[in-house]
Amino acid sequence: MLRPVPRPSPAERRAALRATRATPLPPDERRRALIEATRPLVLTHGLDVTTRQIAEAAGVAEGTIFRAFETKGELFCAVMQDALAPEPIVAQIKDVPADLDLAATVAWLVDLLSTSARRTRALFAALAHAKPREHLNIGPRTHEERDEAITAALMTVLSRFDEELRVSPTTAAWAVKGQAMAIAHTLPTADDPAITEPRMVASLLLNGIANHPC
């Protein structure tokens, strides 16, 4: 005869429930998790993304969003600010392999910057019709700080080639950055696909468009 399995007491059930619950994240980590979960949803759904979708993607309760951010607009603003944070792109610039020659380095930088700019542009386009707009106002200083940090990182990398450059690292950084931004805004249907090819862009930057120097 089978013996009945003893039922756990209420105290034992409460202890088991506590043991299976995930440890609550610290506030900064909770915000980070929500930002990471929201970014791809915004790219897919724009402003139509719901807090329920965000909560499911982040693996949290819907109310958790509003313990980290007062409004959904504030969360969107945090996503935009995170996209403009200079630290990730600066780290990638500084990680350009030191054994590359000047042409390969410029092509690498152009590809890196144009890809980053496209992603940021897509995110901003998805949020372009936010209302009220002031909820997504990140201010000009954020853009300035990002630009300054990227320029400084480019100058550091391009300084490796001081003897090969006929301009200062500052001017070289400006040229690389400007061309990368131009690529990011070039339509995919451009007549000449070489326009957005990093190696071709690097060649144009280094050699110009004339057969011989003017």
Mean of the per-residue pLDDT values of the chain: 82
Higher pLDDT, 198 or 89: 89
**Distance between CA atoms of residues 177 and 68, nearest Å:** 35
Give the pLDDT confidence of 67-109 residue by residue, as tens digits.
999 988 889 889 988 988 999 999 999 999 999 999 999 999 9
**Exposure string for 49-58, b = 16+ CB within 10 A, e = fewer:** bebebbbebb
pLDDT at 138 over 70: no
Higher pLDDT, 128 or 45: 45
Torsion over CA: 98, 100, 102, 104 (sign): negative
The architecture of the domain spanning 24-80 is Orthogonal Bundle (1.10)
**Distance between CA atoms of residues 119 and 137, nearest Å:** 19
**Distance between CA atoms of residues 132 and 25, nearest Å:** 30
- What confidence category does residue 143 fall into, taking pLDDT thresholds of 50, 70 and 90? confident
CATH topology for 85-214? Tetracycline Repressor; domain 2 (1.10.357)
Of 211, 212, 208, 206, nearest to 103 (Cα)?
Answer: 206
**Distance between CA atoms of residues 214 and 211, nearest Å:** 9
Residues in the chain: 214
- pLDDT of 47 reads 81
Give the pLDDT confidence of 10-67 residue by residue, as tens digits.
555 555 544 444 456 788 888 999 999 999 999 888 888 899 999 999 998 999 999 9
Domain 24-80 and domain 85-214, same fold? Reply is no
Sketch the domain layout of the chain as residue ranges.
Answer: 24-80, 85-214
- Mean of pLDDT values over 136-152: 80
Higher pLDDT, 183 or 5: 183
